[in-house]
Amino acid sequence: MEFMSDVLGSGTASRPSLFELFAQEKMASLFKPALVYALSIYAQRYPRYLLRLVNRQDEAFALLMLMVERHYLRKFGSSFSENIYGLKRASTDSARTGRKLGGRDVTKSLVLLVVVPYLKAKLDLLYERHGGGGAAVAFLFSNRGRTPSDNADLAATPPLATRLRTWIREAFLASYPYLHAAYHLLPLGYSLAYLLGRTRYYSPWLHLMGLEIQRMTHEDYADQQNLALGGFASGDGPLGRDGTPLQRVRHLLAWLTELPLNLLNVILPTSVLFFRFLEWWYASDLYKASKYLPIPPAPAPLKPHPEGFQIPDDPLVCPVCRESRTNPAVLPSSGYACCYPCLHKYVELNRRCPVTWIPAQTDQVAHLYSST
């Protein structure tokens, strides 16, 4: 990544390359599908507890990411996906250079990281429900679209509230494809400008907030490790603080509550690596070889019935006609080979094997391949 950043002429070691920014953005976009998939799988096993959560998956994911992103922005100065890639957010205001994100920066970042994607997902769903979707592409390249005047041919004039709702719906369907295109094209333009070194902002949202993305320094990594461990790295853990025993217990409980969030940037990549290893293991020949059991020995042959046809000494002789076997056939239920005409006729008349007297049907008679 650093080599590619130098090739692109970043000019500073703190400026991340476009590939790093794309990677963290791609990872952030994969959180929701992965979580929804896992939630839907477990909801099939525990529908009583998780079905409502699946039905409100957008809200559940937004609340979860609001908690996670708020923690990482306040404590480490970066979003969760940015922190995984060793990136941080810094103010472009020269008077605030080197300082941590303020409360307003955290709030604005949360709005653009959580609230805006949530509203965008709801607008997409609303557009699909009211007749958008595939027609949006054709609408962008045509002059035809639905307008409020399309309802002029109604026999009776609808009430004002109905006409207002219809007008809002049609206006939304007409304008949303352009808003959707601008939502994706504007960041693309900023990415190209960032790639060419024309701007320090990777996206228009960062430009609005006055923040830029930088690489974490060695000091940032040391501070993050100390913060993630609750001060143990510097000898200032929750149990080492001054105060009454009750205050120490409160500090310990708060530290234990934050510890999973602090280590989430380590737990998630490790879990992904572990699941990738399991995927490789289950698809490998080693797992298939360990899964297969040894082939059991062949079962003992069935004994002939005392009143049935006796087995001749020569294995090439048919037990029914006592002549050399021709066009061999067998009943899978007994395993004794006979001539096909002899065996088929006997089973058709007696509904059983001629040797063992095991019940059989004519459709069970199977031909055998013989090289002689």
| Strand blocks (E) in 159-305 | 211-215
The amino acid sitting at 302 is: L
| Rounded distance between C-alpha atoms, residue 182 and residue 200, angstroms | 21
Of the candidates 216, 246, 280, which is a domain's last residue?
Answer: 216
- What's the pLDDT score for residue 339? 93
Domain of 370 in residue numbering reads as 302-372
234 lies in some domain: no
Tell me the pTM: 0.61
| Domain CATH code at residue 337 | 3.30.40.10
Q: Do 188 and 65 have their domain in common? A: yes
> Dihedral of CA 38/39/40/44: which sign?
positive
Number of domains in the chain: 2
Q: What are phi and psi of 367, to 5 degrees?
A: -70, 150
Domain final residue pick, 199, 216, 233: 216
Looking at the structure, tell me whether residues 208 and 312 fall in a common domain: no
For residues 98 and 193, state if they share a domain. Answer: yes
Is 42 within a domain?
A: yes
Closest CA relative to residue 196, chosen from 1, 2, 10? 10
What's the confidence (pLDDT) of residue 5? 41
The answer to whether residues 354 and 338 touch, using CB atoms and an 8 Å cutoff, is: yes
Q: Which tokens sit at 318?
A: 């048919």
Residue 288 lies in a domain: no
pLDDT the model gives residue 143: 44
- Which of 55, 29, 27 has the alpha carbon at shortest distance from 40? 55
Same domain, 14 and 133: yes
Rounded Cα distance, 343 and 352, in Å: 10
With a CB cutoff of 8 Å and minimum separation 6, the contacts of 213 are 16, 21, 82, 87, 88, 89, 90, 202, 206
Residue 368 within a domain: yes
- 165 and 52 share a domain? yes
Q: Are 177 and 322 contained in the same domain? A: no
3-class SS at 211? strand
Tell me if 311 is assigned to some domain. yes
Mean pLDDT by 10 residues, the chain (372 residues): 41 80 88 85 86 88 91 88 89 71 89 93 88 51 46 61 84 90 92 91 91 88 71 51 65 67 74 77 72 76 87 88 90 89 92 90 86 62
Q: Of 178, 193, 216, which marks where a domain is finished?
A: 216
